[in-house]
Every structure is written in structure tokens, then in C-alpha cells.
Amino acid sequence: MIQKNKWFRIFTNKQGQGTIEALALSVTVIAAVTALGAGIYFSVVHVGMNYMLHEYLICQKTQGATDCKKDFYKKSAPFLVAAKVLTLESSVVFRKQRARLVVAMPMKRTLTFKKELEIY
């Protein structure tokens, strides 16, 4: 009979309940903030690289291919905190300037951007 009361008291003890609930809540909040931060980062990289690729095409069309690639890498560095550029290719087909960019993102993801520019 004594053993039964001992186990009953262990499971009904309310001391430490607030600590357990706070720990569970903090883990949930940290996971939500991390997921939100990752979503924002992926969005900023997508928009930023899209814009930088467009600027790269304009630079190539107007100034030639002299320093455009160096400028692209230098200006895209703030967007690529946790990512890196794998390939940056450009070509001219008829009068259109084309570029293809592949960016390696965290969590083994890659983003591929393709752009065309035709200045009349």
C-alpha cells in the first residue's frame, strides 16, 4: 500500500509544472521564429538575385562584359549571407542577352534564375 501512494504522489506533484510548460513554449517559439526567418531569407535572396541578374544583363548590354561579372559578385554579397553562387552564365542569341544563375542555398536547396533582356 505504501508503494502505491508513493507513485501517486510523484505523478500528482505540481512543483516544476511552470518550468516544463515554459520549456515547451520556448521550443515552439524558437522553431516558429526560425521558420519565419528562413522564409524571409529565402524571399530576400530570391528577389535580390533576380534584381542583380537584371542589373548584370543591363551592364553587359550597355558596357560590354568588362567588369560586369566582378560588379555582380561584389553587389550580390550582401544578399548571399548563407548561400553561394554556383554558376553565372550569359550568352547572346540574336539581339537578346540571356543569363542563367544557379545559387546554392542552405538545406541543400538550389535556386535557378533565367533572364532575357532585349534593348530596342
Q: What is the pLDDT of residues 79-89, one digit of tens each?
A: 788 888 888 88
∠111-50-112 over CA atoms, to 5°?
20
Encode pLDDT of 11-51 as tens digits: 566 666 777 788 889 999 999 999 999 889 888 888 888 88
Buried b (16+ CB within 10 A) or exposed e, 81-110: eebebeebebeeeeeebbbebebebeeeee
Encode pLDDT of 61-103 as tens digits: 787 767 888 888 888 888 788 888 888 888 877 878 888 888 8
Q: Is the pTM of this model over 0.85?
A: no
The overall average pLDDT reported for the chain is 81
Q: State the pLDDT at residue 79.
A: 78
What topology does CATH give the domain 16-117?
Answer: Pantoate--beta-alanine Ligase; Chain: A,domain 2 (3.30.1300)
| β partners of residue 97 | 92, 117
Q: State the pLDDT at residue 28.
A: 94
